[in-house]
Structure 1
């Protein structure tokens, strides 16, 4: 199975996978509006890959077959301020007590 991977300029680390280049017909319009103009990153032959970085290959193939697309969200970023406050023995949020 061939897969096209697109990125967006709106959110770093967000990628849209579709079954072939330029095939956005199955992607819901509200998602495309939020995603913005897709920029092609690469084409992948999924059959020739055992693993993919940051993506569960089985889930990707299932989503492509069932929905016609797969949206990869960026990993959740740690709140460094909360972590620092915790390391000092303080509440994560200054407005709240332990």
Structure 2
């Protein structure tokens, strides 16, 4: 399965995996449309990172590839959250999330 990976403009180390669109669908493709509205707002703007071929034997740095494949097949997306050690509970909230 081929997927495209996008990074969040609002959270460091947050990535969105979506099934890569066909070439005919690629123009004007908005990866955020697969996300629920509440998640879309928290993710912010999506910046393309890379395309990747996923299969059961592939190793990913921070997540289990089987979880990613299952989520892509059932939900249409996989959201990779930042590692817990990178989240500072005392950090100032990003501009777009204040009061949320």
TM-score over 0.5 for the pair:
yes
Distance 2:82 2:5 in 1: 14
Q: Does 1:73 align with 2:81?
A: yes
Q: Does 1:61 align with 2:69?
A: yes
Aligned to 2:17: 17
Unaligned ranges ≥5, structure 2 = 22-28, 89-100
Q: Secondary structure at the match of 1:43?
A: strand
For CA contacts below 8 A with separation 6 or more, give which structure has more relative contact order.
2
Distance 2:13 2:61 in 1: 12
Does the 8 Å contact 2:13/2:82 carry over to 1? Answer: yes
The structure with the larger Rg is 1
Scaled by the length of structure 1, the TM-score of the pair is 0.71
| Number of equivalenced pairs | 80
Distance 1:18 1:25 in 2: 10
Moved over 4 A (4+): none
What is the RMSD computed on CA atoms of the aligned residues? 2.3
Scaled by the length of structure 2, the TM-score of the pair is 0.70
Distance 2:43 2:33 in 1: 14
Does the 8 Å contact 2:7/2:48 carry over to 1? Answer: yes
